[in-house]
């Protein structure tokens, strides 16, 4: 068994600590004692943790027996003298100069170990990279290729390293970068000595301001083509998903957006609120522009399906030849132009609500298929054989009399009764003109936000003009009139001039061109009150408008109406 060399160290500062740390790791060396005047130096703490004896006086250190080597690391002449004079004859002394040499050797060894470690990491990285890499010196001699280089080019490292790039691949990006001392990007060329076409990026290697060589990274064009095909396929999937997302929407309106005080309107609103809690099919009837779609949005938004899709289909806007495909989807190759499978509106609405506007325009063949969905909640795509199950609530709307159409054979009677489990009848705007001021204020607020304006409202004459008009286009027409007026108005109030071109009030004007004979003031007042009540209605809102038009207070109007009724 080899005897360990027993070592003692005087001075545990930075130098002594480095020597200690290295010697402690050597198998055949035993640290017998370390000494330093400062007990709390890092080296002294390290030794105590390792279980090595420590002392803080030179006298105590020199009494330690059997030290083969004493390393004096302080460099203090007095301490060196005492060590030489009082050491054991069998102990060799390495003074500060020798210790410094030892520290230098140790530090260089540690640096070399760190360089080897970094080189190992770099080799591991370069060897794992999928792109081909080639490195050449400033003179063009090839010094390194990674495994991917051999994979891409079928050239081994021995067939490349040591050769000159200007000879074997003079037209490549690496040679070009060495010649120009500049980066070369997206360079397309053949690898010298092969038939492999690649696209390359090369850059100079600069150390301390001097160019030492260059490196090139490249991929074969076949990989690029594969990536392009994958990208194309991915884009196709994204396009299909985007197409599906574009067809799916959520409800945009709530019951709070539905304004109206007419009894028929209130009745429809209350029934809609109750219907929203269930799953029954709903038929919304009314003239065009009365708000049928808004009601469908509100019903879906208040239902348990509100977090599921809300799909809108205008049966009158889709060509009859495409209607079945739009509703139920189609399989790839089902007909000319069907290059991929497409989901239909019914499938997209699964779990949610589908709103069928203008249901009266649906063709009889599709009516039969819709009836099956309502009865069985299943269908097949066009050109498909697989039965698809769905859970969809159907809300339909029409401005036509479906019952009359059914009696005349123009609409399936069984489908009519399936759709008409609950019917909401929306009144035309001419029946509840008293709601016009409220509608107008809501629309002005909406268009103020849209156009960045600060319109406050209508002048009395403008409001009167709206109240006189019969609104064949209903609320939708009113919305269009207000939007056009908001575009042209420059003040904070909309006057009648902003709407004269949009509202045909000729009938009203002709009605007002009456031949009035001379009569008592009291009778004239009575006729004006009667005319105002006829125009604005007998509701609370109507009386407010009448009082405003007559330029009297509401209380005065009530008193005069009371007096008129008592004189009858």
Domain CATH code at residue 456: 1.10.8.60
DSSP state of 166: H
Residues with Cβ within 8 Å of 152's Cβ and at least 6 positions away in sequence, in order, are 132, 191, 196, 198, 218, 219, 220
Three-state DSSP state, 424: strand
The answer to whether residues 505 and 549 belong to one domain is no
Identify any residues that bridge with 203 across adjacent strands, giving them in sequence order: 215
In a domain, 121, yes or no: no
> 475, 490, 513: which is the final residue of a domain?
513
For β-strands 378-380 and 493-494, DSSP reports them as: unpaired
In a domain, 238, yes or no: no
CB 160 within 8 A of CB 140: no
For the stretch 347-377, what's the b/e string if a residue is b when 16 or more beta carbons lie within 10 angstroms of its beta carbon? bbbbebbbbbbbbbbbeeebbebbbebeeee
The Cα–Cα gap between 205 and 198 comes to 21
The answer to whether residues 94 and 71 belong to one domain is yes
Look up the CATH number of the domain holding residue 568.
1.10.10
* pLDDT value, residue 506: 42
The answer to whether residues 417 and 335 belong to one domain is yes
The answer to whether residues 260 and 310 belong to one domain is yes
Instruction: For the sheet with 92-94, list strands across it.
Output: 54-55, 29-35, 5-10, 69-72, 92-94
Three-state DSSP state, 459: coil
Instruction: Give me the residues of the chain with pLDDT under 70, please.
Output: 1-2, 96-115, 118-122, 124-126, 128, 223-228, 230, 233-251, 501-502, 504-518, 567-568
Alpha helices per DSSP H over 380-459 = 402-407, 413-419, 436-451
Look up the CATH number of the domain holding residue 368.
3.40.50.300
- 554-566 and 521-536 helices cross at what angle (nearest 10)? 110
Question: For 327, what's the count of Cα atoms within 13 Å in the CB-facing half-sphere?
Answer: 31
In a domain, 143, yes or no: yes
The answer to whether residues 282 and 409 belong to one domain is yes
The answer to whether residues 209 and 199 belong to one domain is yes
Look up the CATH number of the domain holding residue 183.
3.30.450.20
Look up the CATH number of the domain holding residue 68.
3.40.50.720
Q: What is the CA radius of gyration of the chain?
A: 47
How many other C-beta atoms lie within 10 A of the C-beta of residue 405? 16
Residues with Cβ within 8 Å of 204's Cβ and at least 6 positions away in sequence, in order, are 177, 178, 181, 182, 183, 211, 213, 214
* pLDDT value, residue 245: 54
The answer to whether residues 370 and 343 belong to one domain is yes
* pLDDT value, residue 508: 44
Total domain count, the chain:
5
Domain span including residue 59:
5-107
* pLDDT value, residue 325: 85
* pLDDT value, residue 510: 40
DSSP state of 144: E
In a domain, 230, yes or no: no
Give 469-529 as a 3 state SS string: CCCCCHHHHHHHHHHHHHHHCCCCEECHHHCCCCCCCHHHHHHHCCCCCCCCHHHHHHHHH
The answer to whether residues 102 and 186 belong to one domain is no
For the stretch 453-463, what's the b/e string if a residue is b when 16 or more beta carbons lie within 10 angstroms of its beta carbon? eebeebeeebb
Q: Write the pLDDT tens digit of every residue in 68-118.
A: 999 898 888 899 899 989 988 888 888 766 655 565 556 666 666 666 776
* pLDDT value, residue 525: 85
In a domain, 112, yes or no: no
Identify any residues that bridge with 493 across adjacent strands, giving them in sequence order: 457
In a domain, 122, yes or no: no
Report the predicted TM-score, pTM, of the whole model to 2 decimal places: 0.50
In a domain, 293, yes or no: yes
CB 130 within 8 A of CB 223: no
> 387, 402, 422: which is the final residue of a domain?
422
């Amino acid at each position: 068994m080899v005897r360990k060399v027993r070592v003692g160290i005087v001075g545990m500062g930075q130098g002594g600590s480095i020597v200690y740390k290295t010697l402690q790791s050597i198998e055949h060396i035993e640290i017998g004692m370390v000494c330093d005047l400062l007990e709390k130096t890092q080296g002294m703490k390290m030794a105590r943790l390792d279980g090595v004896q420590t002392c803080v006086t030179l006298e105590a250190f020199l009494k330690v027996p059997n030290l083969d080597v004493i390393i004096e690391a302080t460099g203090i002449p007095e301490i060196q003298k005492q060590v030489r004079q009082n050491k054991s004859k069998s102990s060799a002394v390495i003074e500060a100069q020798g210790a410094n040499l030892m520290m230098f050797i140790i530090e260089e060894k540690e640096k070399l170990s760190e360089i080897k470690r970094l080189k190992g990491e770099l080799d591991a990285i370069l060897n794992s990279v999928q792109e081909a890499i080639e490195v050449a010196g400033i003179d063009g001699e090839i010094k390194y290729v990674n495994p991917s280089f051999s994979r891409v080019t079928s050239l081994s490292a021995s067939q490349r390293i040591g050769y000159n790039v200007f000879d074997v691949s003079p037209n490549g990006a690496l040679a070009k970068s060495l010649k120009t001392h500049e980066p070369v990007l997206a360079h397309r060329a053949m690898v010298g000595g092969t038939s492999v076409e690649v696209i390359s990026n090369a850059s100079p290697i600069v150390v301390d301001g001097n160019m030492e060589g260059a490196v090139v990274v490249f991929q074969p064009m076949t990989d690029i083509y594969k990536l392009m095909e994958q990208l194309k396929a991915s884009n196709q999937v994204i396009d299909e998903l985007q197409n599906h997302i574009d067809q799916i929407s959520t409800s945009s309106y709530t019951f709070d957006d539905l304004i109206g005080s007419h009894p028929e309107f209130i009745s429809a609103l209350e029934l809609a609120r109750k219907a929203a809690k269930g799953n029954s099919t709903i038929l919304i009837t009314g003239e065009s522009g009365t708000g049928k779609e808004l009601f469908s949005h509100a019903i879906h938004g208040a239902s348990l399906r509100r977090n599921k899709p809300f799909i809108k289909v205008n049966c009158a806007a889709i060509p009859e030849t495409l209607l079945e495909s739009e509703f139920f989807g189609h399989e790839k190759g089902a007909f000319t132009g069907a290059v991929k499978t497409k989901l239909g509106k019914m499938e997209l609405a699964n779990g949610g609500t589908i709103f069928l506007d203008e249901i009266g325009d649906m063709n009889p063949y599709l009516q039969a298929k819709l009836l099956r969905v309502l009865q069985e909640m299943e269908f097949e795509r066009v050109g498909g054989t697989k039965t698809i199950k769905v859970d969809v609530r159907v809300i339909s709307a029409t401005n036509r009399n479906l019952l009359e159409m059914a009696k005349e054979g123009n609409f399936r009677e069984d489908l009519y009764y399936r759709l008409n489990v609950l019917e909401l009848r929306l009144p035309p705007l001419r029946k509840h003109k008293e709601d016009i001021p409220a509608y107008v204020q809501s629309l002005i607020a909406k268009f103020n936000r849209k156009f960045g304006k600060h319109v406050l409202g209508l002048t009395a004459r403008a409001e009167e003009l709206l109240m006189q008009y019969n609104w064949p286009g209903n609320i939708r027409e009113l919305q269009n009139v207000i939007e056009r007026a908001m575009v042209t108005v420059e003040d904070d109030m909309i006057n009648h001039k902003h709407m004269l071109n949009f509202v045909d009030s000729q009938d009203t004007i002709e009605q007002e061109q009456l031949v009035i004979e001379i009569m008592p003031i009291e009778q004239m007042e009575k006729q004006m009150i009667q005319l105002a009540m006829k125009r604005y209605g007998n509701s609370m809102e109507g009386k407010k408008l009448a009082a405003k038009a007559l330029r009297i207070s509401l209380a005065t109007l009530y008193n005069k109406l009371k007096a008129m009724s008592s004189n009858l």
